[in-house]
């Protein structure tokens, strides 16, 4: 392991450690009972959120918009495919950890076909020509299927919304990304392209949020946590979860939702 | 064949016929109920496709008018408002509640008109219906897009005064009701109810010039 790799990994581990301790220490604070989710360190999260929003507004978003204006969609799709393919070993790893063996085999084939016939992952031949659908798995989802609670909500500078459980994905996703084992100055522009392309892919969602949200912080937190549940259940969360909000309202109104 | 066997056989046939008759009626009733509960969702989808197709040619007022008819009739906005405001609902007097319902309705319509403003071959596809507690049903659909992944659009419907109405919209797993409740609670707690009302009015106003352009 090179010095830069060790530094990179240490950075992730220290980040996880600090955040876990911070979240643990903060559990004596009153949770946000209205949201139904644990945002124990909301005041700190809001500070980080404001910092990120400022950075995004003045730096990342304008760069991403310029990138979209200058780059044809087909090129951006290729760039997205390339980086998604690099991160796909982590998906395969988590398929097997979650006991999804058939999906794990299919995802392994996806990775092999896209890396070879798809020229390093630039072309998604597995989806388009082989009907091997793309899956979205990570270590946070694996821990959820193993029964771990999400823990406190965290808004991490530069990374964005997260939870104590989900942030653990930084370890396997770092180790399983082939770029982790490459030492070259070319990594810097490639990492920058990854960041800009990722932000460009989120432009539609962030514009939608800016258009709809009255409190962007709460909106982001709620949308993130719900989206994570959706992914954990592979797009089919239990229907009973949707009843909860009505049951709570019924409890508050003495058992029945009476609307005049 | 003895006459006893013959009468048993006739009896069985009769029971089978009765069974078929009632089964068919039950199935028919279930189908009719399923169709009835899908009506608000189908009408919403038709209206959305309509305003998407006319996004480049019709005025904001025309498209708003199309959505207003559907959302006012097919969404149970009073119930949605009650759930979204959570415990704050009971602290409002009747006039404040009515005003909030009206404001929430206008914000919902404005948001739909703003979001569904162009058409590129999209269509909605019905997937399935699942039952929930207290005669609520989850209707699963998806929005198919020409060059992109489908977007899941699920709706919770419930009967209200003899009419099936939408009480929640869940897009790609994100429940609009939970989202708004969380947001609104946060604003009320930190800045007060009047501030929430002001923000909602401002949001409606922000959406209008953009759509009118």
Please tell me the total number of residues recorded for chain B in this structure: 213
| Pick from A16-25, A146-155, A167-176, A251-260: least confident | A16-25
Burial (0-12, 13-18, 19+ Cβ within 10 Å), A46: middle
Asked if residue A103 has pLDDT above 80, the reply is yes
Q: B160: which strand partners?
A: B163
Model confidence, pTM: 0.82
* pLDDT tens string B31-57: 778 888 999 999 999 999 999 998 878
Partner A contacted by B29 (CB < 8 A): no
Partner A contacted by B196 (CB < 8 A): yes
Q: Which residue has the higher pLDDT, B17 or A80?
A: A80
* pLDDT tens string A112-133: 999 999 999 999 999 988 989 9
Residue A40, number of CB atoms within 10 A of its CB: 24
Residues 46-105, chain B: which have Cβ within 8 Å of A? 76, 78-79, 82-83, 86-87, 89-90, 94
Contact criterion met (CB < 8 Å) for B134 and A246: yes
- Residue A163, CB-side half-sphere exposure with 13 Å CA sphere: 26
Residues of A with CB below 8 A from B130's CB? 239
| A226 → closest Cβ in B111, B178, B184 | B178
| A249 → closest Cβ in B76, B82, B196 | B82
Choosing among B141, B155, B174, which should be mutated to test the A contact, i.e. which has the most A CBs within 10 A? Answer: B174
Tokens of A230: 């959706």
| B173 → closest Cβ in A219, A227, A239 | A227
Contact criterion met (CB < 8 Å) for B175 and A227: no
- Residue A165, CB-side half-sphere exposure with 13 Å CA sphere: 20
What is the band of A78 on the pLDDT scale with cuts at 50, 70, 90? Answer: very high
Partner A contacted by B179 (CB < 8 A): yes
In whole angstroms, how large is the CA radius of gyration of chain B? Answer: 23
Of B127, B123, B157, B124, the C-alpha closest to B140 is: B127
Partner B contacted by A218 (CB < 8 A): yes
What is the band of A211 on the pLDDT scale with cuts at 50, 70, 90? Answer: confident
- What is the percent of chain A with per-residue pLDDT over 90, rounded to a whole number? 64
Stretch A60-65: mean pLDDT: 96
Sequence-ordered list of residues with C-beta below 8 angstroms from that of A157, at least 6 positions apart, any chain: A48, A51, A52
Residue with tokens 């980040």: A15
Q: What are phi and psi of B123, to 5 degrees?
A: -150, 155
Q: Which parts of chain B sit beneath pLDDT 50? A: 211-213
| A246 → closest Cβ in B114, B136, B172 | B136
pLDDT in the model for residue B43: 95
Of A136, A210, A229, the C-alpha closest to B174 is: A229
Contact criterion met (CB < 8 Å) for B178 and A219: no
* pLDDT tens string A133-178: 999 999 999 999 999 999 999 999 888 999 999 999 999 999 999 8
Partner B contacted by A203 (CB < 8 A): no
Q: Which residue has the higher pLDDT, B34 or A96?
A: A96
On whether ipTM exceeds 0.90, the answer is no
Of B110, B102, B116, B114, the C-alpha closest to B45 is: B116
């Amino acid at each position: 392991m090179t010095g830069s790799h060790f530094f990179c990994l240490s950075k992730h581990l220290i980040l996880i450690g600090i955040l876990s301790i911070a979240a643990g220490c903060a559990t004596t604070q009153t949770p946000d009972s209205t949201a139904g989710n644990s945002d124990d360190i909301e005041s700190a999260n809001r500070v980080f959120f404001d910092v990120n929003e400022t950075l995004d507004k003045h730096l990342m978003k304008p760069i991403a918009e310029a990138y979209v204006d200058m780059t044809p969609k087909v090129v951006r799709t290729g760039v997205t495919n390339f980086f998604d393919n690099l991160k796909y070993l982590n998906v395969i790893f988590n398929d097997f950890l979650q006991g999804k063996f058939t999906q794990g085999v299919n995802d392994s084939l996806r990775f092999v076909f896209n890396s070879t016939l798809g020229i390093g992952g630039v072309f998604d031949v597995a989806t388009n020509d082989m009907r091997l659908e793309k899956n979205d798995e990570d270590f946070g989802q694996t821990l959820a299927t193993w029964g771990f609670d999400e823990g406190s909500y965290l808004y991490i500078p530069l990374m964005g919304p997260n939870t104590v459980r989900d942030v653990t994905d930084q370890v396997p996703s770092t180790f399983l990304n082939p770029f982790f084992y490459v030492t070259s100055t070319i990594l810097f522009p490639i990492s920058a392209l990854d960041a800009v392309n990722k932000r460009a892919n989120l432009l539609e969602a962030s514009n939608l949020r800016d258009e709809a949200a009255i409190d962007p912080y709460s909106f982001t937190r709620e949308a993130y946590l719900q989206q994570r549940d959706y992914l954990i259940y592979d797009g089919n969360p239990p229907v009973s979860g949707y009843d909860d909000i009505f049951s709570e309202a019924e409890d508050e109104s003495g058992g029945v939702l009476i609307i005049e | 064949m003895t006459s006893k066997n013959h009468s048993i056989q006739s009896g069985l046939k009769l029971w089978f016929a009765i069974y078929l008759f009632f089964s068919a009626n039950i199935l028919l009733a279930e189908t009719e109920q399923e169709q009835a509960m899908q009506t608000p969702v189908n009408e919403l989808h038709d209206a959305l496709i309509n305003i998407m197709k006319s996004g480049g040619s019709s005025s904001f007022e025309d498209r708003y008018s199309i959505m207003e008819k559907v959302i006012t009739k097919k969404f149970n906005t009073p119930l949605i408002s009650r759930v979204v405001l959570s415990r704050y609902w009971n602290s409002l007097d009747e006039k404040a509640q009515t005003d909030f319902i009206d404001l929430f309705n206008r914000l919902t319509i404005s948001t739909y008109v703003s979001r569904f403003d162009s058409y590129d071959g999209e269509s909605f596809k019905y997937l399935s219906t699942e039952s929930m507690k207290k005669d609520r049903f989850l209707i699963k659909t998806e929005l198919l897009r020409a060059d992109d992944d489908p977007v899941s659009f699920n709706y919770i419907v419930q009967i209200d005064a003899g009419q099936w109405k939408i009480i929640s919209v869940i897009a790609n797993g994100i429940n609009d009701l939970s989202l708004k409740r969380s947001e609104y609670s946060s604003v009320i707690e930190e800045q007060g109810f009047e501030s929430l009302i002001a923000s909602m009015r401002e949001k409606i106003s922000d959406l209008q010039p953009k759509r009118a352009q």
